[in-house]
Structure 1
Amino acid sequence: MGAGQKSNRLIVPQAQKAMEQFKYEIAAQVGVQNQIQGGYWGHISSRDCGAVGGNMVRQMITAYEQSLAGKQQ
């Protein structure tokens, strides 16, 4: 997809800044943050981008499961 064709949108638009920060934190954990230049991800391989996205989803699911477990007690 080219620029301007992004089809997925945040449900809470105010979370945009936090999600961007979260993405860069995960990129640092995966080890690709030093390849990102000025917010440009074009030099990052699809595999590495997928690793960043997959780890983001994994951590969000873990946080949600923990919040559910806390509500049930």
Structure 2
Amino acid sequence: MSDPTPSPAPGDLKPVPAERRGFLPIHTNGFDRGFIAVVLFIAIHLFWMRVLEQSLPLVVATVISVVLGFVIIRKG
């Protein structure tokens, strides 16, 4: 008996992308990491306005959120 599935021709092979390993405990794509960064941006600002705004300006929270979002999108 012959094999019912023919083997692909050499020109038909497509490279398999290497799996990206980040520090997030889930498999993510660029959109997922961007969404996580935006949600974290909002959470940090809400926490900041409730707890720390009397002592530190909101600009500090923005800088922290942008740096953290950049790290999550690039390395997450």
Fold conserved between structures, TM > 0.5? no
Task: Considering fraction of residues, name the structure with more helix.
Answer: 1
Give the TM-score band, short-chain normalised.
0.3 to 0.5
Greater RCO structure (CA 8 Å; 6+ sep): 2
TM-score (norm. length: structure 1): 0.32
